[in-house]
């Protein structure tokens, strides 16, 4: 957990109106991260109540505890003040902001939500802002970054951190000299109130698709969680992709409220505030774009392939325009922008196929990634994760069959499920799509992930494109209760070298 060196702090009198003389220097909901002077928030959990770990937090230096009625009963008599509220999670974000001096109010805060494209758009925002001489922090799936450098930190969430961790990191960035933050805001974070104490300068909506129905009750609940970001209390300006049906619905809702300015983004609709006038794909996969931004024209070279990445770039420049940044200068940074595991080019040298690694793990993302490949013959390595959203496995297989010449079905993170059974579900969706659309696609059960990547490279010829989808930037593979080292890009390089050595005399 990254915290500022010089902490603002707050007294218990300021926070709760009692216990004068006790100063709170930090806050955490994880007893393992508790330190001297912390407020420990004991939250109810799926297996254990956080109150069970109060003794550990107190031993680590916590000076007070916040919990609910059930937690208060678990804690019993202790030597530090215990405060009881009906919903400690709802109170946590505001308390964290006060303890760390409300750092977001001194930073340019730029948020991105949506099913796909969050990570890429935040990295594009980062590259553009740094090109215009700003110091930028990133918060998201890849981790925490400052000025393009990944920071070492303990994380307990995948995308958007819990509010104590989030507010501490914002204070850390401010202390380190950052002036802007590009942040992924997940549907989980919005439903759980992790970003409640922040009013963003600009928030963007990329798109909406099938995902996370293991957490949200249904598709509508998932959408409403994302839509909740676009209120005057949470953001000052909205940027919305209107090529997406749900995006258009969101624009109508925002404009109906009449209190939130909105900029619309479209790849080609002349009615949108920001759209592409022309696109030209270069031989290396980069895209030259001429865009219209309200009354102005912006020309830039985008270092990432694919129309969906052009849409992400348009979202980026619309966000920066809404934030008052010089877009003409900032757009220069898009030429060299690269995102770990997001259409990441793995350079294998001359006479090699084009190989891309991407995090695509929804049907929509699989289709978009394959459509972005700058080649006529496309080979895809595709897997689906275990213990998550089984209903999207068939549609992901169908999307792969529709977009590739060869589909090699493999393991992603099988977790506690049988890998072969997951692969069978993906294959069933691919076969159904092949039959219904009479697709000339070859379907292969590639077995484990390394073997599947090896087979894809053996089948590929110079000029072909290979997409390794599903894990993106992840450095490990979850099998059972273990996380084994596995990085797609590194394995591609290793297997290509193996192929070359195998073919040498």
pLDDT in tens, 358-372: 999 889 889 999 998
The mean pLDDT of 206-217, rounded to a whole number, is 65
Percent of residues, the chain, with pLDDT higher than 70 = 97
CA 117 from chain centre, in angstroms, equals 8
In the structure, what pLDDT confidence band is assigned to residue 487 with cuts at 50, 70 and 90? very high
pLDDT at 284 over 80: no
The pLDDT of residue 269 is 87
The pLDDT of residue 350 is 86
DSSP H helix total and E strand total for the chain: 16, 25
Residue 399: count other Cβ atoms within 10 Å of its Cβ: 29
pLDDT at 348 over 90: yes
pLDDT at 213 over 60: no
Cα(144)–Cα(156) distance, integer angstroms = 13
In the structure, what pLDDT confidence band is assigned to residue 441 with cuts at 50, 70 and 90? very high
Cα(111)–Cα(199) distance, integer angstroms = 10
Parse the chain into domains and list their residue ranges: 10-99, 103-335, 344-503
The pLDDT of residue 156 is 67
Contact by Cβ (8 Å): 181, 106: no
Cα(354)–Cα(282) distance, integer angstroms = 14
Contact by Cβ (8 Å): 205, 230: yes
In the structure, what pLDDT confidence band is assigned to residue 215 with cuts at 50, 70 and 90? low
Task: Write the pLDDT tens digit of every residue in 239-260.
Answer: 999 999 999 999 999 999 889 9
Of the candidates 206, 256, 200, 263, which has an alpha carbon nearest to the alpha carbon of residue 232? 200
SS3 495: helix
For the ranges 199-213, 307-321, 333-347, 458-472, the lowest mean pLDDT is seen at: 199-213
Q: Which residues contact 229 (CB under 8 A, 6 or more apart)?
A: 111, 113, 185, 190, 200, 203, 205, 235
CATH for the stretch 103-335: 3.40.1190.10
pLDDT at 414 over 90: yes
CA 258 from chain centre, in angstroms, equals 29
Beta bridge partners of 40: 28, 65
In the structure, what pLDDT confidence band is assigned to residue 216 with cuts at 50, 70 and 90? very low
Q: Which residues contact 501 (CB under 8 A, 6 or more apart)?
A: none
DSSP 180: E
Mean pLDDT over the full length of the chain:
94
Cα(343)–Cα(472) distance, integer angstroms = 8
Beta bridge partners of 265: 241, 274
pLDDT at 505 over 70: no
Contact by Cβ (8 Å): 360, 384: no
Task: Write the pLDDT tens digit of every residue in 135-179.
Answer: 999 999 999 999 999 998 877 667 889 999 999 999 999 999 999
Task: Write the pLDDT tens digit of every residue in 376-406.
Answer: 799 999 999 999 889 999 999 999 999 999 9
Its CATH architecture, for the domain 344-503, is: Alpha-Beta Complex (3.90)
The mean pLDDT of 60-75, rounded to a whole number, is 97
The pLDDT of residue 153 is 84
In the structure, what pLDDT confidence band is assigned to residue 218 with cuts at 50, 70 and 90? confident
CATH homologous superfamily for the domain 10-99? MurE/MurF, N-terminal domain (3.40.1390.10)
Q: Where is mean pLDDT largest: 217-221, 238-242, 338-342? A: 238-242
């Amino acid at each position: 957990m990254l915290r500022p060196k010089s902490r603002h702090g707050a007294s218990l009198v300021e926070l709760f109106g009692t216990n004068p003389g006790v100063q709170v220097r930090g806050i955490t909901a994880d007893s393992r991260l508790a330190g001297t002077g912390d407020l420990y928030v004991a939250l109810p959990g799926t297996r254990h109540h956080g109150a069970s770990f109060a003794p550990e937090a107190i031993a680590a230096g916590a000076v007070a505890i916040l919990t609910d009625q059930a937690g208060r009963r678990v804690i019993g008599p202790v030597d530090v003040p215990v405060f009881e509220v009906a919903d400690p999670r709802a109170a946590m974000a505001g308390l964290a902001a006060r303890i760390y001096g409300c750092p977001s109010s001194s930073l340019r805060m730029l948020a991105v939500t949506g099913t796909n494209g969050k990570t890429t758009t935040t990295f594009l925002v980062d590259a553009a802002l740094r090109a215009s001489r700003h110091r930028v922090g990133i918060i998201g799936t890849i981790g925490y970054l400052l000025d393009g450098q990944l920071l070492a930190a303990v994380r307990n969430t995948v995308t958007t951190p819990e509010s104590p961790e989030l507010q501490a990191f914002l204070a850390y960035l401010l202390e380190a000299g950052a002036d802007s933050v590009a942040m992924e805001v997940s549907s989980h974070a919005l439903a759980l109130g992790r970003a409640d104490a922040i009013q963003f300068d600009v928030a963007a909506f990329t798109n909406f698709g099938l995902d996370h129905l293991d957490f949200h009750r249904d598709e509508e609940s998932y959408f409403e969680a994302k839509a909740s970001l676009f209120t005057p209390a949470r953001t000052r300006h909205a940027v919305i992709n209107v090529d997406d049906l749900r995006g258009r619905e969101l624009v109508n809702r925002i404009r109906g409220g009449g209190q939130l300015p909105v900029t619309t983004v479209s790849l080609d609709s002349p009615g949108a505030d920001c759209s592409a006038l022309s696109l030209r794909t270069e031989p290396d996969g980069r895209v030259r774009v001429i865009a219209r931004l309200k009354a102005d024209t912006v020309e830039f070279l985008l270092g990432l392939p694919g129309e969906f990445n052009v849409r992400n770039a348009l979202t980026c420049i619309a966000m920066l325009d809404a934030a008052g940044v010089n877009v003409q200068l900032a757009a220069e940074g898009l030429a060299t922008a690269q995102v770990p595991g997001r259409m990441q080019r793995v350079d294998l040298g001359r006479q090699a196929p084009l190989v891309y690694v991407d995090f695509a793990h929804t049907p929509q993302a699989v289709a978009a990634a394959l459509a972005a490949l700058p080649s006529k013959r496309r080979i895809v390595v595709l897997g689906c994760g275990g213990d998550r959203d089984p209903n999207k496995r068939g549609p992901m297989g169908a999307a792969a069959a529709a977009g590739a010449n060869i589909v090699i079905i493999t393991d992603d993170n099988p977790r506690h499920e049988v890998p072969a059974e997951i692969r069978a579900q993906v294959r069933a969706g691919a076969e159904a799509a092949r039959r219904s659309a009479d697709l000339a696609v070859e379907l292969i059960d590639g077995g484990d992930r390394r073997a599947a990547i090896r087979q894809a490279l053996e089948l590929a010829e110079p000029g072909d494109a290979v997409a390794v989808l599903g894990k993106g930037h992840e450095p490990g593979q979850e099998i059972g209760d273990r996380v084994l080292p596995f990085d797609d890009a590194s394995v591609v390089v290793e297997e290509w070298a193996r192929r070359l050595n195998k073919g040498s005399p």
